Structure 1
């Protein structure tokens, strides 16, 4: 990142919320007694990257129901457990937080947040803007390239120990560059998403093959050069390999998705609106980390109106920019 380069923070809404929920202690509660560990972790991560990178823009993406992948493979993500109730209630609060900071939100029927992140990050890269994708989903690593990096929070008890992944970091961890990770997924699959892959081939074996050949197509074109056991595994699960490749590939040209940078200006929010929410949530301890918040003030000092009910309706567009197509 050069000093003059603009920076965009892209937030993977549901993935970061899940990571925060399971990574932060469940003892966090608001003054009224509601669980806030996911909201606190989500907020803390936003403030941390805000301070570290001083971004010019923020954009948030969320998932919206089933996608084209479910049509391709009805069992896709079929083994996932239902969202915990304590997290579901906090998703509403996270949406309120995003609204208070006036961050634009992108959702798209039939696509995952991953696809929106890929599309927006690539559009930003073409403009010479550095995108930092904040997510707890390693699938996003395949998007990494010049001008696109991933900020990855730690796991349980280590949520705030984030790691920044660039091309070199991915190669060090997986043995291949980011653009080959989807080819790896074609062979390895992904149990968390119920993507089958090729039975008997793991990350190390897939990496070795991709160090020798450029793609899944090239691997299958050279089966005669492989060890008998590896060849048999690939032959037996050829259909699953290509299905897994299609399921795992992030779309980077989602129709109708257009990067609206000016809507995501990082300083375009009312501190009073944020203070109102922080009072409700009991986040006084981190209020002064918000850019522009006076060091000698509490959210109670700044709050402008009586805090709204958690069930209050979403304000009209303009207060909260929801880009849904």
Structure 2
């Protein structure tokens, strides 16, 4: 078995067996390729025999390449999964994944935007586009993130079968997990406007959101459109498309939504992922207090 065969099997396992996203597959394949090149282990038997010291040495060399703590933690996760799979392929499944501890990562709080900023961003993105249909498209995508809490990949995965939108939408998220999200009138109207203006036919099994050449719209184009609007509005670099999803969660929590309901709406696998928004909401309240309380103001 060659290195190419090993990587092909690994990629197929991730994409088809584990249903990982294309981005994750690329990252995990890159980590596996580097491990093979640096250790010389190029088949399942030799990969299965890699010990903790060898893996730790490989990660140390990656740190010397300039890898950050967060990137090292991600690469460690990829390597552990790869070696575990190698041991399964070599008939050593009982040994499981190698025991390695990665660097401690301090999680920062998500940076939500205000409701007014979210609306202004969507409106400005529409107004700055060169073509009306492109502006309607980008506005519809951003409102799906802010108005329905979708991830950008989830919004761009919609196809012609999903329109016209109803009061709810079935969304397939991470881990192929499906959830139902409510769709407010403003989001339905924005998507309907885009569908009416699009020069490309809305076909059942093809991407709803298209690029200017007719292919599926890429996340990068949405990110660029939002970056232009963010700069024009004088907002910080943290005002990204994903920040709109954070804002959806934070604003719902501030309005009284409970954590379990929010977990379902966001498609989080664990409640722990949702609980971070309680800290965001507390931070927002504190900022408001500091700005309003007479003893906290400079004047």
TM band (smaller chain): under 0.3
Q: If the length of structure 1 is used for normalisation, what is the TM-score? A: 0.21
Q: If the length of structure 2 is used for normalisation, what is the TM-score? A: 0.23
More helix by share: 2
Structure with the bigger RCO (C-alpha within 8 Å, sep 6+) is: 1
